[in-house]
Amino acid sequence: MSRTETSPSGGSGHWFGHTELPPEQADALRRAKRLEVITLLYMLTCVAVVFATAGSSQAMKTAWVEDSLALVPPLAFLVAVRIGRRRPTADHPYGFHRATGVGHLTAAIALLAVGLLLAVDSAMGLLRAEHPPIGTVRLLGHTFWAGWLMVAAMVYTGIGPFVLGRMKLPLAEKLHDKVLYADADMQKADWMTAAGTIAGVLGIGLGLWWADSGAALLISLSIVRDGWTNLHYSTTALMDERARTYDDEHPHPLTRRVDDVLASLSWVDDSRSRVRDQGHVFHVESFVRPVSGRTPTLEQLEAAADVLRELDWKVHDVVVVPVRDLPETIPDPDADPDQPPPEN
């Protein structure tokens, strides 16, 4: 897909800091936005249901806090997408793509801070040997153990995240959206929280006083783990770590593909590229060493940049710089054991 567009002045040129998504990604973004709106509405009902049935159970209270936190990632995604589509300005010449990274960081800090508070609270409940009472409730003319209402509430709050999280994962990969991936990951934590809470409530019913606080502690540690992982990846991305895959498992294979394409040009002897993640798109700085005795023309440099832009929709801002010696600080991807195989 070409990145050549009409500039505001009426001329033609390459936009820096802004891109229109290809049809496939644009459709994925629309579906992701709809899913996030559905998630917000659904999680609001979950928060209300859990609050109404929590009673004195520590596990239920912890589940209520996590359900409340589950509102943060979809909100961060929707806000980041809206801001990230703005065109660049004089103060923001790279555009606003980094709004996605800011949203990722916001969600991570919220997860980690609240997870730590809940873990301490749950651990203190275990140390104090608290015995949370679960009484009876009268509903529709019948009296029954309130724990069954708690279990029903957890079943309701667990089904939605299980389905929504699985629907978001392929969209996160297609859009290269780490906020959406973090949200899908938290949805997984939500349904696991529901299962753990059910176990804690049933444990109380069986006379195991420690089951409630124990389940709450496990849920809290799960929140802390998610918060720490997302905090690590969001901060390193904002510090211009080399581009990684949407799930942060590996360096992104586009770095290798960029250098392979440049090395295939007749006038290029070798190249090294810096590829950094701007959000949905990448900023590419390629340093090329020309073949001995050949000086690239302006047309050849522009053609090389165009070839890279055609390589993948994520390759957006491109700079090709001819150099005498390749920068030693940029590693050779072929010698990098952490680099995954190139994409087909």
- Which residue ranges form the domains of the chain, and what is each CATH number? 4-238 (1.20.1510.10), 254-335 (3.30.300.30)
Contact predicate 54/64, CB 8 Å: yes
pLDDT of residue 197: 77
Q: Which of 318, 317, 302, 310 is nearest to 92 (CA)?
A: 317
Residue 9 confidence (pLDDT): 36
Tokens of 307: 């070839």
Query: 253-272, pLDDT tens digit by residue?
Result: 998 999 999 999 999 999 99
Residue 65 CA to residue 57 CA, distance in Å, equals 13
pLDDT of 134: 66
Q: What is the mean pLDDT of residues 110-137?
A: 74
> How many C-beta neighbours within 10 Å does residue 23 have?
9
Instruction: Pull the structure tokens for residue 315.
Output: 């390759």
Work out the pLDDT band at 334, boundaries 50, 70, 90.
low
Average pLDDT along the chain: 81
Say how far apart CA 130 and CA 51 lie, in whole Å: 20
CB 279 within 8 A of CB 271: no
- pLDDT one-digit tens code per residue, 173-229: 999 988 898 888 878 777 777 777 788 778 777 777 677 677 778 877 877 888 888
Structure confidence at residue 8 as a pLDDT band (50, 70, 90): very low
Task: Please choose, from the candidates 55, 60, 53, the residue with its C-alpha nearest in 3D space to the C-alpha of residue 149.
Answer: 53
Beta bridge partners of 285: 274, 319
For tokens 């710089």, the residue is 321
For the record, the structure tokens of 176 come out as 């290269």
What was the pLDDT predicted at 269? 93
Compute φ and ψ for 136, nearest 5 degrees.
-110, 165
Quote the strand ranges of 46-146, DSSP E: 136-139, 142-145
Task: Compute CA distances 192 → 155, 216, 237, 296, whole Å.
Answer: 11, 12, 28, 58
The CA distance from 70 to 131, in Å, is: 28
For the cut 80, the answer to whether the pLDDT of residue 13 exceeds it is: no
What per-residue confidence (pLDDT) applies to 299? 93
Question: What residue ranges in 67-209 does DSSP mark as E strands?
Answer: 136-139, 142-145
pLDDT at 211: 74
68-72, 146-150, 290-294: lowest mean pLDDT where? 146-150
Q: Which has the higher per-residue pLDDT, 56 or 344?
A: 56
Of 338, 342, 327, 343, nearest in space to 270 by CA: 327
* Spatial CA neighbour of 278 closest among 107, 109, 100, 105: 100
pLDDT band at 68 (very low <50, low <70, confident <90, very high): confident
Please give the angle made by the CA atoms of 86, 76 and 40, to the nearest 5 degrees.
Answer: 120
Q: Which one is predicted more confidently, 72 or 219?
A: 72
- Spatial distance between the Cα atoms of 234 and 100, rounded to a whole number of angstroms: 9
Question: Are 276 and 251 within 8 A, CB to CB?
Answer: no
Q: Is the CB of residue 258 less than 8 Å from the CB of residue 275?
A: yes
Rounded Cα gap, residues 17 and 92, in angstroms: 8
Q: How far apart are CA 205 and CA 219, in angstroms?
A: 19
317, 284 contact by CB (below 8 A)? yes
pLDDT band at 6 (very low <50, low <70, confident <90, very high): very low
Residue 104 has pLDDT above 80, yes or no: yes
